[in-house]
Chains A and B, each alone.
Chain A
Amino acid sequence: MTDIPRRNPNLVMRLARLGSIHQSRLSFMRVLTRRMAKEGWRFERTDFAVNDAGEGHAVYTAHGPDRSYSLIAYAHDLPPEKRSDRVIADAWDATFTLFDGIPTADDIQRLSQNIPVQEAGRVSGTELSVSRANRSVRLWEHVVSRLADGRQPDAAQIEAVGYLMRTTAVYGSGKLGAADREMIADRPEFRAPFQVEMLSVYLTRWFVLDLVQHMANRRASAAGQKAATLSLDLARSMGIGNSTGLGMAPFLLNHPVLFNNWVAARENAIQAVCSLDSASTEERALFHALVERSKQTIATWHSEHQIQIEKLVELRSDVEKLDEYLGQNDLTGPRPWYNLYKWAENSLSLEGQEWIASLILEPYGTLVDPLAEEMAADNTATFRIAGAMTIADLRGLLKDIYAWALEIDWDAPNNKARAWYVSEEKLEPRLGERFEEPVEQYEQPLAPGRDAALLYKALAHWPDETHVADFLLRHPEHRHMLRRAQIVGRAPYAEIRDNTISDRVLPIDMLRCKLAFFGATQFDPRSDRWVRICMYGGAPLPFELDHANADFWVFPEIEPQRQESVA
């Protein structure tokens, strides 16, 4: 049999497909929970000083094999009119930092002056992240009042929202003076990307559950009553919401090697699984079970946004087609996963194809999970331009990677209708209308397709044998793009092979892609440029995390679980 090739970047790196990616074994939340369970991490709440108005602080510490990390949470009493998910907000219901080690009283005091004001504060090298969260007003009040009244909250209302608080930014890697990623990148627990941020959110979820119980207890106590204890099943069903806006989209363009490594790891995994000659009975059984559980996620996925509503109609129809396929193909034949994937590629929507592409990895932890180690990036080696490359070679590179861009008419206004810029308001990234707003002079270099076409044109009259070093001396304006082309030459999944400034571009495609790598599900776009998700919904709580529940929690259980109370 012939070798199964890796999927072509020209297929994978289109925005519509990137905007349909699903979480997988390689998603950063699952990488973290697997590691913590495997290494037997221990978790404790060491401080909880919150008053009746919900103001104060709490500390939660995670103890790994070599080091400990603490979430310091500050709770606030936020007036409703101040509650906004936008970057430009300046007050929140709760604010957080992940501290490297165990904080002293002095650390907690120092940070109480800085964390609550977020971007207006300063942190130091002992802080690994800075984040904030707002309540879901409707669910928060429902849960507090029900518990205070001695009753459990309504499971349907919890399911409809999914979280008690949503984070609106989680800053890491040197932001606001925090530790650079380079300071901690050699620690095994942080080798995979975004593990600091994922740990911070995981501990935040625990704090939020404690806070809602505390507020219910205080309210009941004020009325001379005793509050109910939130059931463990309901507690576990809730995750932490997240509102993600435009800032995430430039991230993928500004970190091409990192992005390549994420996508390449998943593509290598898909290739490895597709190359398997056969599947064992256990592997097939696990796959079938997870298909069933995954259907629950798809069935309960709600969105009010027209684009996502249409994609969900297609995905639900894909689910039926998969049932038919699996009814006729029991995966006992040769190359079962390749044949299944190829069928999906020819028969399903992009949502359906990417759902299958991720799902076939599930039975193969031994094969797939080590690839997570390759998802981080050190950009030092790829940053330098190879100045001895000839113009002829550069032309070849551009024709190969950017063929799609060289075909676009960049003089047509609709093909460059938008411009990415940064607002002076808290440096919020925004997408403007090039021909309607005065933003072009502030444009960020986030349109590689157009810039590659411009570079290609500028090379037209240069001799083949000239080195690019000499071209760049005359044309420093092409330096950014030329570097990019050389990077993508070495890292084929580094580039979004699509127009990022057309009048039809959907920034939510980029946001969805990044959040799927985090491990999010049930994406709910709220416009074409921001999206809500839920993280860790259904995940074991820290005190119950073990080998048995660390891996497949992202797939909802089908059997109703036994009701238990939080210890």
Chain B
Amino acid sequence: MSHSLNEIEAMGKRAARGAGLSWGLAEEAAKGTRWLSAFGFPGTEMLAELLKLNDQVPPIDVSPVSLSADIWHAPARRMSPLIAGASLSDCAVRLYERGSITMKNVSLPLLAVPFMGGAALRLGVPVAAEWDGARVATDGKHLCVQGDAAALEAKHAERLVFSAPAEMTGQNEAVMRAEVSGGSWDTLNQFAHRTFAPATEESRLRGAGAGLSDND
């Protein structure tokens, strides 16, 4: 079914929060999912898969141990692309100074790509990411993609390398609508539901301030 990008972002934020991410990281997850969806990637599917994988896992276990390490890696044998990606965006200047940042054992690497879009906008130069059989580069507004769907949508990358400045070859423009599979939407909805308070008669009356008649 066709969805608006705002719907995808709103759902992504609630679902990521429901899966245990902090509000700030949930916001990043939502923006990233929107960004991927706008370029025709299965953003909601990949987010749903990641949230299931890391449901209730303490974020520290799947976060980079240090941002100054030569190779970013997590204590667990997999690193969250959302947390590592957010850190990459925070380290845009460091990425430019170092020329590249390498990460080890990243789940669903495509989910980290939107963050380099943010880094590219901040730096004003294109940023590229490469992993097994896939290369994507972006200036934040356009995207060039090399690799087949299987490589791009890989579940895991042993080695993920971000580099700046990068070269843009062949460009995709973002679109304004996205197709979302029913299954992924249902999964996100289940996570999102955890953030909603159960309806009670008391909250129905007090919480929204019903009082004077609204039928006059």
Residues of A participating in the B interface, judged by any CB pair closer than 8 Å: 80, 83-88, 122, 124-125, 134, 136-138, 173-183, 243, 245-246, 304, 380-381, 383-388, 421-425, 427-433, 437-439, 442, 445, 467-470, 472-473, 476-483, 507, 526-530
Given contacts A175-B4, A530-B208, 14 further A-B contacts (CB under 8 A): A125-B2, A173-B4, A245-B208, A384-B118, A384-B122, A423-B207, A424-B193, A424-B199, A431-B207, A432-B207, A437-B203, A476-B24, A476-B59, A481-B24
| Residues A529 and B122 in contact, CB atoms below 8 Å apart | no
Chain B 187-216: CB-based contact to A (< 8 A → 1; otherwise 0):
000000101111100111011111110111
- Hey, which chain A residues are within 8 Å of B210, CB to CB? 86, 527, 530
Known A137-B216, A431-B207; contact A476-B22, beta-carbon cutoff 8 A: yes
| Residues B4 and A424 in contact, CB atoms below 8 Å apart | no
| Residues A124 and B2 in contact, CB atoms below 8 Å apart | yes
Instruction: Give bound CA distance, A245 to B199, whole Å.
Output: 17
| Residues B203 and A432 in contact, CB atoms below 8 Å apart | yes
Instruction: Give bound CA distance, A473 to B1, whole Å.
Output: 37
- Hey, which chain B residues are within 8 Å of A432, CB to CB? 197, 203, 206-207
Could you show 18 A-B contacts with beta carbons less than 8 Å apart? Answer: A125-B176, A137-B216, A174-B6, A177-B2, A177-B3, A180-B6, A387-B89, A388-B92, A421-B207, A422-B196, A423-B207, A424-B199, A430-B203, A473-B67, A473-B90, A476-B21, A527-B209, A530-B210
Return the chain A residue nearest B115 by Cβ: A384
| Residues A423 and B203 in contact, CB atoms below 8 Å apart | yes
| Residues A472 and B87 in contact, CB atoms below 8 Å apart | yes
Known A137-B216, A439-B197; contact A527-B211, beta-carbon cutoff 8 A: yes
Q: A427 CB to closest chain B CB, in angstroms?
A: 7
Known A246-B208, A439-B203, A526-B212; contact A469-B87, beta-carbon cutoff 8 A: yes
| Residues A476 and B176 in contact, CB atoms below 8 Å apart | no
Known A125-B2, A480-B24; contact A423-B212, beta-carbon cutoff 8 A: no
Instruction: Give bound CA distance, A421 to B197, whole Å.
Output: 7
- Hey, which chain B residues are within 8 Å of A176, CB to CB? 7
Of A246, A423, A439, A481, most buried by chain B (CB within 10 Å of CB) is A423
Chain B 75-108: CB-based contact to A (< 8 A → 1; otherwise 0):
0000000010011011111100000000000000
- In the complex, whether B138 has a CB less than 8 A from a CB of chain A is no
Instruction: Give bound CA distance, A245 to B212, whole Å.
Output: 13
- In the complex, whether B159 has a CB less than 8 A from a CB of chain A is no
Chain B 10-43: CB-based contact to A (< 8 A → 1; otherwise 0):
0000000000011111011001000000000000
Instruction: Give bound CA distance, A559 to B95, whole Å.
Output: 69
Those 3 A-B pairs whose CB atoms lie nearest each other, nearest first: A479-B24, A387-B90, A174-B6
| Residues B208 and A479 in contact, CB atoms below 8 Å apart | no
- Hey, which chain B residues are within 8 Å of A473, CB to CB? 63-64, 67, 87, 90
| Residues A243 and B197 in contact, CB atoms below 8 Å apart | no
- Hey, which chain A residues are within 8 Å of B206, CB to CB? 432-433, 437
- Hey, which chain B residues are within 8 Å of A381, CB to CB? 121
Instruction: Give bound CA distance, A472 to B27, whole Å.
Output: 14
Return the chain B residue nearest A182 by Cβ: B176
- Which residue from A125, A138, A304 sits with its C-beta under 8 Å from B212? A304
- Which residue from B2, B22, B31 sits with its C-beta under 8 Å from A480? B22
- Hey, which chain A residues are within 8 Å of B27, CB to CB? 383, 479-480, 483
- In the complex, whether B177 has a CB less than 8 A from a CB of chain A is yes
Instruction: Give bound CA distance, A431 to B67, whole Å.
Output: 39
- Hey, which chain A residues are within 8 Å of B21, CB to CB? 476
- In the complex, whether B129 has a CB less than 8 A from a CB of chain A is no
- Hey, which chain B residues are within 8 Å of A180, CB to CB? 4-6, 176
Q: A105 CB to closest chain B CB, in angstroms?
A: 21
Return the chain A residue nearest B90 by Cβ: A387
| Residues B215 and A137 in contact, CB atoms below 8 Å apart | yes
Instruction: Give bound CA distance, A427 to B203, whole Å.
Output: 13
| Residues A428 and B208 in contact, CB atoms below 8 Å apart | yes
